[in-house]
């Protein structure tokens, strides 16, 4: 049986999941999305993801034609149709079909799509050995321009930084904000460990307030680890005892080298490993069963 995709209320074959070339999601990246994970038929933090999807849509004045409950039902329906136990879920809403102008009023009906499939963002060995990353010239979008807390379909800012990472021979890039402070990576949030404290940039520097990020902060505090959202510089990163990235697709992945500087002893750290273990545990109990 081929992969089924939810498109505007219907489940269609993957090859038949088509949208108009006049859809403003294609023409202008005008829309929002969420990446969600399921583990052993448990959709992890589904409510939090759905809330963020609707908040993103509200900020860009996009009315999603489904209620939150209906969106959840559509996601579960799509997962069941594809008989997936462990899956990556991409739920998206575009402004819909319009004309070649920018005016969103010309788009009469949003397009809703849900894809459920597999994903492997990084090779498994990198989770054991650690990741090398670089900082890149492309800055994270200013919150006063396109706020990164809106998870929009326009990811060109991240793609340009990703290209710079690839050109440098690594898998991921750290992006700074316009003031030179550490923001986040192209698709992940960043943490460092210093003197037993867990540090991460605050949302106001221009980052997506990641759901995995929030889980890690909650886990750490539950374990009595001091956590702080602080302004970080490259100097702070270079001199960290440990570092790791978080994201729905990436989960928690250690970083062992930044801009050629070895982090700690050059191996995934104890706190990183402990948080990874704790995170795996909560994915088995926190979510919506299907």
Q: Which tokens belong to 59?
A: 């900020």
pLDDT tens-digit readout, 235-257:
999 999 999 999 999 999 999 99
The confidence score (pLDDT) of residue 287 equals: 87
Q: Tens digits of per-residue pLDDT, 127-185? A: 999 999 999 999 999 999 999 999 999 999 999 999 999 999 999 999 999 999 999 99
CA-wise closest residue to 1 among 95, 105, 80, 94: 80
Q: How far is CA 137 from the centre of its chain?
A: 21
Tokens of 148: 């990164």
Please give the pLDDT value at position 131. 97
Runs of H (alpha helix) within the chain? 24-28, 46-59, 68-81, 124-129, 156-167, 211-222, 234-238, 270-282
CATH class given for the domain over 4-117? alpha beta
The DSSP result for 262-285, as a single string, is EPTTSS--HHHHHHHHHHHHHTTT
**175: which 2 tokens?**
């992006």
Catalytic entry in 151, 194, 274, 284:
151
CATH fold for the domain made of 124-282? D-amino Acid Aminotransferase; Chain A, domain 2 (3.20.10)
Please, what sign has the CA dihedral across residues 285, 288, 289, 290? Answer: negative
151 given a catalytic annotation: yes
Q: Using CA atoms, how far apart are residues 17 and 5, in angstroms rounded to an integer?
A: 7
The secondary element (H helix, E strand) that includes residue 200 is strand 197-200
- The reported pLDDT for the residue numbered 120 is 85
Listed by start position, the domains of the chain span 4-117, 124-282
């Amino acid at each position: 049986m081929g992969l089924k995709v939810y498109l505007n209320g219907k489940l269609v074959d993957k090859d038949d999941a088509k949208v108009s070339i006049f859809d403003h999601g294609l023409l202008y990246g005008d829309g929002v999305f969420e990446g969600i994970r399921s583990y052993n038929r448990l959709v992890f933090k589904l409510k939090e993801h759905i809330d963020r999807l609707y908040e993103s849509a509200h900020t860009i004045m996009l009315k999603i034609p489904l209620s939150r409950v209906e969106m959840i039902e559509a996601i579960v329906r799509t997962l069941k149709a594809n008989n997936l136990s462990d899956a990556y879920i991409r739920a998206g809403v575009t402004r819909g079909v319009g004309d070649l102008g920018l005016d969103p009023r010309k788009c009469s009906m949003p397009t809703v799509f849900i894809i459920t499939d597999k994903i492997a963002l990084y090779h498994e060995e990198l989770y054991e050995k650690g990741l090398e990353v670089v900082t890149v010239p492309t800055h994270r979008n200013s919150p006063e321009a396109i706020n990164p807390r809106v998870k929009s379909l326009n990811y060109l800012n991240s793609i340009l930084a990703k290209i710079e990472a690839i050109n440098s021979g690594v898998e991921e890039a750290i992006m700074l904000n316009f003031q030179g402070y550490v923001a986040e990576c192209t698709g992940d949030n960043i943490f460092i460990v210093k003197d037993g404290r867990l540090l991460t940039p605050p949302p106001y520097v221009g980052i997506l307030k990641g759901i995995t990020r929030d889980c890690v902060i909650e886990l750490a505090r539950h374990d009595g680890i001091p956590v702080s959202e602080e302004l970080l510089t490259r100097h702070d990163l270079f001199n960290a005892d440990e570092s790791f990235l978080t994201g729905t697709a990436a989960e928690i992945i250690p970083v062992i080298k930044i801009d050629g500087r070895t982090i700690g002893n050059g191996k995934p750290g104890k706190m990183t490993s402990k948080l990874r273990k704790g995170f795996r545990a909560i994915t088995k109990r926190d979510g919506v069963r299907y």
